[in-house]
């Protein structure tokens, strides 16, 4: 098991958001995390990435206990994170944003700007064309491609994606979905994705977890269960 959460709890001030979450992600799998808005999906990803601290429970990654490890330490351990809302550095160029992603390689591999893998530009050709443009001037779809590319620059063992297609025009959504499929098939990367579209989640992931009120209430295989069987747990 690459990622293991045991009785994970998290809170914002006095408001508890995650309640004793147990979850595992196997090396090489793609897992969809689904549920209605406000049930704790983003908080769970933030907790795994180290952006949000655990108030209880444990987190293991690759067999190591990372419960108390801060976000930069988890990135260096191999956890890549593409947060909701993209969060690129607006005053840096596309190339400079990608270079920031190399920091996650510190302690694992020699870090060189020239080491930004060519497969990132192969996955997202548009980034090659706009490599010197400030990130703040990019469209939402371009920023999302950049955010994914920045995470990939760190060569993560686990890629966390928080609604990567949210608020993006349909033609760009198709490009991003195609790139994510290539990341799975060509790189064999382990992925945990929060996704609002069940059709894509079912065609992309091998397994799923449904969240409700800060807990995982159902888990299963997308290979043996249909999206229709759990749609009532997700749709408003």
Distance CA 47, CA 6 (A): 12
Answer yes or no: are the C-beta atoms of 54 and 8 closer than 8 Å: yes
Mean pLDDT of the chain: 91
Answer yes or no: are the C-beta atoms of 155 and 105 closer than 8 Å: yes
**How many structural domains is the chain composed of?**
1
pLDDT at 2: 97
- Which residues have C-beta within 8 Å of that of residue 218, sequence separation ≥ 6? 209, 210, 230, 233
Q: Angle 166-195-229 (CA atoms, 0-180°, nearest 5)?
A: 135
The residue among 61, 56, 57, 96 whose CA lies nearest residue 81 is 61
| Stated pTM of the model | 0.93
Percent of the chain with pLDDT over 90: 75
pLDDT at 171: 85
Give 104-146 pLDDT, tens digit per residue.
Answer: 777 655 555 555 667 899 999 999 999 999 999 999 999 999 9
The residue ranking higher by pLDDT, 196 or 58, is: 58
The residue among 86, 80, 96 whose CA lies nearest residue 176 is 86
Which structural domain, as residue segments, surrounds residue 124?
3-233
- pLDDT at 68 > cutoff 70: yes
Percent of the chain with pLDDT over 70: 94
Answer yes or no: are the C-beta atoms of 190 and 157 closer than 8 Å: yes
pLDDT at 140: 92
For the beta carbon of residue 13, count every other beta carbon within 10 angstroms: 5
Alpha helices in the chain (DSSP H): 41-49, 71-77, 94-100, 118-123, 125-129, 140-153, 170-187, 198-204
Give 214-226 pLDDT, tens digit per residue.
Answer: 999 999 999 999 9
The CATH number of residue 157's host domain is: 3.40.50.300
Find the mean pLDDT for residues 160-188: 90
- pLDDT at 4 > cutoff 70: yes
pLDDT at 169: 85
* DSSP bridge pairs for 192: 31, 160
* Matching residue, tokens 């709890």: 9
* Matching residue, tokens 């390689």: 105
The residue ranking higher by pLDDT, 167 or 158, is: 158
Tokens of 30: 């793609």
pLDDT at 110: 54
- Antiparallel, parallel or unpaired: β 190-194 and 158-162: parallel
Find the mean pLDDT for residues 83-95: 91
pLDDT at 59: 98
* Matching residue, tokens 């190399």: 102
For the beta carbon of residue 5, count every other beta carbon within 10 angstroms: 23
pLDDT at 170: 86
Specify the 3-state DSSP secondary structure of 87: coil
The residue ranking higher by pLDDT, 99 or 113, is: 99
């Amino acid at each position: 098991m690459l990622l293991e959460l045991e009785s994970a709890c998290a809170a914002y001030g006095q408001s508890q958001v995650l309640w004793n979450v147990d979850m595992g992600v196997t090396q090489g799998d793609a897992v969809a995390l689904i549920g209605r808005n406000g049930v704790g999906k983003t908080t769970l990803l933030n907790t795994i990435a180290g952006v949000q601290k655990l108030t209880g429970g444990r987190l293991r990654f690759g067999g190591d206990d990372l419960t108390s490890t801060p976000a930069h330490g988890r990135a260096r351990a191999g956890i890549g994170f593409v947060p909701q809302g993209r969060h690129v550095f607006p005053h840096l160029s596309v190339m400079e944003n990608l270079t920031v992603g190399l920091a996650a390689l510190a302690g694992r591999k020699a870090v060189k700007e020239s080491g930004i893998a060519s497969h990132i530009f192969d996955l997202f050709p548009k980034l090659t064309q706009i490599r010197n443009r400030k990130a703040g001037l990019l469209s939402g779809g371009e920023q999302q491609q950049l955010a994914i590319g920045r995470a990939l620059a760190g060569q993560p063992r686990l890629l966390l994606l928080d609604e990567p297609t949210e608020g993006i025009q349909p033609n760009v959504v198709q490009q991003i979905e195609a790139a994510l499929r290539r990341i799975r098939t060509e790189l064999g990367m382990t992925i945990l994705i929060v996704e609002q579209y069940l059709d894509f989640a079912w065609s992309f992931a091998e397994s799923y977890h449904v969240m409700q009120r800060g807990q995982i209430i159902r888990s299963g295989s997308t290979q043996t269960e249909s999206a229709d069987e759990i749609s009532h747990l997700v749709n408003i």
